[in-house]
Chain A
């Protein structure tokens, strides 16, 4: 049975707008200008495909030169001993731990942007999340250098892992340093998984655009054979949500655990209960500053003004203002409580810090850079002038480094006993190591922007007005204007200058070669795999899938460059059950952590630390949490790969001449031969009748 009239006509998307309530303050689109799926794919992919710009090699040489310095410093340190650093009694921790905490903190912004803003549905994050997530990973690598080398004899670093009773030394699960090991390694692992999962659709885009065989193979392997199937998207979106949900408390826990490093080593100035949230706020603050520090030059160099708009910078500056003020709040609480407590030792520490100590200058550098200077962001001009923002975020980066310096060096140099007071002088090795870390970070960043898509294409496409079927297109002369015909705010005028967004395209672009009605595959069996048709846009595809379902087809799949809401229902699928795997992973991890710690610390190798009882559970909580998240993350990743049946490097659909667009700007519907109603000719005709283009039956 073949319907004679098309059920839907191509281009039926833009219908008359329904009666709407007044809209005096139109939402500003997140992408400015008339971008389409195609232009975005092109703009971002091109950066990795064409030769590097002129400045790339000089920049790379500088950063890798710094990195080499760091490697030399580390080699000298390891071959000679930690004495080559300036750390000595009483300041036993100095640049090493300052840099460690600084870099860990930098990483936090990436997770905030990618996970927390995702949960809060702050869709503007899509333009910057990839970049920030990459920075998270690089920053954690930079931080990880220090625990590795600061022990001097780094070949004993494996002692940090919970291996049974190696050399009669056992891990102390009540020590903040071991929590740190768990926290940082979990954080690194989960961030890497999160980043990689986010990258998969974009890697597939690069594979499908690849001109050379080697790029095709590399990106083909890395993308695991992703093709944008809705059956995969439905698991993918849930997995992404689960990972975001896991990363959010994880990011809070990591810097909280870092704060425990200090808070549990009781010295005045080191221990106040606000430390955990204060460190987290500080980390996000410093991280946002670093994201802007890298993003503003990259935006200018690659002309990404339409994607990373001035409004993005504006909003990020507001975040800096908010988190900077939270950090300022914590500074003030510390100061106030030190006085209010009536504890003369506590108060003396703060007087020493802020008033008459050796490092008062460092304290005021910190206060100025972190609390006072960011207050300029109350002013709109300061938030929207990139060079000025760059200046301020440089100050913030300096300030956040000094914050750690103040907490560590200043507290240590002046403890309870005047006899053990002393100053700290960094050596050239300290400086070289620190610069080397910056070299490592920027080298990795440069490599990343060179070889991987620095903006999440699939996610940006999903926030384009054309991806929203309910987007209210106004005539160009009324675009972003209020009822009174004027721009409600200056931001509206700025965005409007880029021009109104493009409506979805209504016709399928022609294929470069004619599409035969039956496409054989290289190792074909002669049997049909199924029929495929291309549609002009997401709405048409959605309607087509619904029409196919109404027609009685059940083995459907829709292939899209991004997740289209409502598509999984249209092809007859329900919500993914993947969260059950996540939950199972979480419970497994929790059970493992409970067993590990109680068995080892209470029964197998009972140890009294800090006067705590063998059975006291409190000190085990950080590792309970970290292992819960770690296992949940792994289970999520494996469930995603398993439920999607990936990796699947070859697929019959690859033979279709336009199908490579499914990861760029094409929308495809397939009806598989396993469908009871499948018939080579009738199904093909049906697909044509509902407006499908490039219709073909593919050999299995």
Chain B
């Protein structure tokens, strides 16, 4: 039984020497000019927000850099999470997520522009507006013995050359893997065959190991070190999980958006979204587990050098804001995603994905901002400007990707499997 007419002729806006295999259930041609309108709209909003953010640098320096950092890590997390999902797709030789793979490839295009946008953070650190260790290690060793010890350690670790070298390594890893994975995938669209699939499968494990280590140390260097006397071995894992959740939710929202615009309705169906919903559910629990493990052991141990992290987040309105995190980032999404029917409902999925994405941003906000406003929560318009500009950058990178490449990997070795895919849960 043939599933539908051949849509060869619909895929007419071929790109370069790209052709489409016979038997695709619908047109998956790049969006091309069809998305120009939305790109213009997003670009306008992003540019306006970025301009406001830029002005903020002259109004309130410290606030600007912290807001910028908040927006930046949110965007970077989404891009790195997408790279993770792409790599894990190859490692596990997955069939069901072939369609989603292209979405991730488009999201992690943002890594390249974000690498350049890291420079203002370096300026912020250099100006002493962001990380307090910068001032600490650039002053003479303190008098007190225990501070001396700390000074020597941090002096080595945050030594400018070493610090910059590390950052170069992290960004090189991310750029290299995001580029080669996407380029091989683009190449595969043209030539097909098993070779490129096998090549991506061969390189993905190395990429994952390097990605795991680099994001861990990035989290240590840029986020954990905001309170440089604080430390937590699980912090790297906590940071990853947030990124996984965020980019998965973003991918689900993008698919739902494409569906609403009339694309991919027969290639990424509710069966695939159901699976994405299950992963969102599982990661919701996993995040709670990691977050609780960190909180619980610090609470039980009750050692001052560790408890400072949570004590800072109990001041003033931060106390209520801290309670909000497990409620809105765990309990509510947990029950929203628990029934099977919700995971198969586009509306519920959209609502939950939106909530998770916003709470992911809030989680990062909660990690960064108490350092700046330690007495109580002080919401600032620059936070909004940063959030909008960086979200816009990720969206623009993604949609530009959709304009240039077919919406799914058209010659993936597992394409038939993903099109036929039906969720077998009883």
A interface residues with partner B (beta carbon < 8 Å): 18-25, 27, 119, 121, 234, 237-238, 240-241, 248-249, 252, 256, 260, 263-264, 266, 271-277, 325, 329-330, 333-334, 337, 339-344, 378, 470, 482-484, 488-489, 563, 565, 568, 575-576, 579, 610-611, 618-619, 621
Contact = CB atoms under 8 A, between A and B. Distances in A.
A610 B300 contact: yes
Contact of B293 (A25, A121, A275): A275
Nearest to A253: B289
B293 A277 contact: yes
A272 B193 contact: no
Contacts of B1: 18
Contacts of A271: 297, 301
A18 B233 contact: no
B22 A19 contact: yes
Contacts of B236: 333
A499 B237 CA distance: 45
Contacts of B300: 260, 263-264, 610, 618-619
A275 B24 CA distance: 48
Given A25-B194, A619-B300, A276 B153 contact: no
A342 B149 contact: yes
B209 interface: yes
Contact of A276 (B146, B194, B293, B305): B293
A565 B425 CA distance: 9
28 contacts: A19-B2, A19-B23, A21-B21, A22-B21, A24-B193, A121-B424, A238-B426, A249-B285, A256-B289, A260-B296, A264-B301, A273-B233, A273-B298, A273-B306, A274-B234, A276-B297, A277-B234, A330-B233, A333-B234, A333-B236, A340-B157, A344-B149, A482-B193, A488-B194, A489-B198, A610-B300, A618-B296, A619-B300
Contact of A18 (B2, B157, B414, B415): B2
Nearest to A270: B301
Contacts of B194: 24-25, 482, 488-489
Contacts of B193: 24, 482-484
A342 B234 contact: no
A621 B420 contact: no
B303 interface: yes
A249 B24 CA distance: 39
B13 to A, nearest CB: 20
Nearest to B150: A342
A21 B416 contact: yes
A378 B301 CA distance: 39
Interface of B: 1-3, 21-24, 95, 146, 149-150, 152-154, 157, 192-194, 197-198, 205, 209, 212-213, 216, 220, 229, 231-237, 278, 282, 285, 289-290, 292-303, 305-306, 340, 411, 413-417, 419-420, 424-426
Contacts of B303: 266
Contacts of B150: 342
B87 to A, nearest CB: 12
Contacts of A341: 153, 231, 305
Contacts of A343: 305
* Closest 8 A/B residue pairs (Cβ): A237-B426, A274-B233, A342-B150, A25-B413, A24-B194, A25-B194, A273-B234, A276-B293
A46 to B, nearest CB: 30
Given A21-B419, A333-B236, A482-B193, 11 more contacts: A24-B197, A241-B425, A260-B296, A263-B297, A277-B289, A333-B234, A339-B153, A340-B231, A342-B149, A343-B305, A344-B149
Contact of B416 (A20, A119, A568, A576): A20
A651 B114 CA distance: 69
A19 to B, nearest CB: 5
Nearest to B229: A342
Nearest to A579: B340
A234 B426 contact: yes
B289 A249 contact: yes
Nearest to B422: A565
A244 B222 CA distance: 38
A330 B213 CA distance: 11
Contacts of B3: 18
B413 A340 contact: no
Contacts of A19: 2, 22-23
Contacts of B231: 337, 340-341
Contact of A342 (B22, B153, B213): B153
Contacts of B296: 260, 618, 621
Contact of A22 (B2, B285, B411): B411
Contacts of B232: 272-274, 337
Nearest to A333: B233
B200 to A, nearest CB: 12
Nearest to B306: A273
B144 to A, nearest CB: 12
A478 to B, nearest CB: 15
A252 B289 contact: yes
Nearest to A489: B198
A416 B237 CA distance: 30
A589 to B, nearest CB: 16
Contacts of A18: 1-3
Contacts of A277: 234, 237, 289-290, 293
A310 B285 CA distance: 34
A273 B21 contact: no
Nearest to A264: B300
B197 A272 contact: no
A470 B420 contact: yes
A119 B297 contact: no
B426 A621 contact: no
Contacts of A273: 232-235, 293-294, 297-298, 306
A626 to B, nearest CB: 14
A615 B415 CA distance: 56
Nearest to A616: B299
B205 to A, nearest CB: 8
A21 B299 contact: no
Contacts of A579: 340
B302 A611 contact: yes
Q: Find the residue from B149, B194, B197 having the highest chain A CB count within 10 A.
A: B194
Contacts of B415: 21
Contacts of A621: 292, 296
Contacts of B2: 18-19
A329 B426 contact: no
A488 B231 CA distance: 48
Contacts of A241: 425-426
A344 B149 CA distance: 8
Q: Find the residue from B157, B237, B305, B411 having the highest chain A CB count within 10 A.
A: B237
B334 to A, nearest CB: 11
Given A119-B282, A329-B212, A621-B292, A337 B233 contact: yes
Q: Find the residue from B282, B413, B417 having the highest chain A CB count within 10 A.
A: B413
B286 to A, nearest CB: 8
A234 B289 CA distance: 32
Contacts of B294: 273
A527 B189 CA distance: 66
Contacts of A325: 209
B411 A333 contact: no
B426 A275 contact: no
A344 B147 CA distance: 11
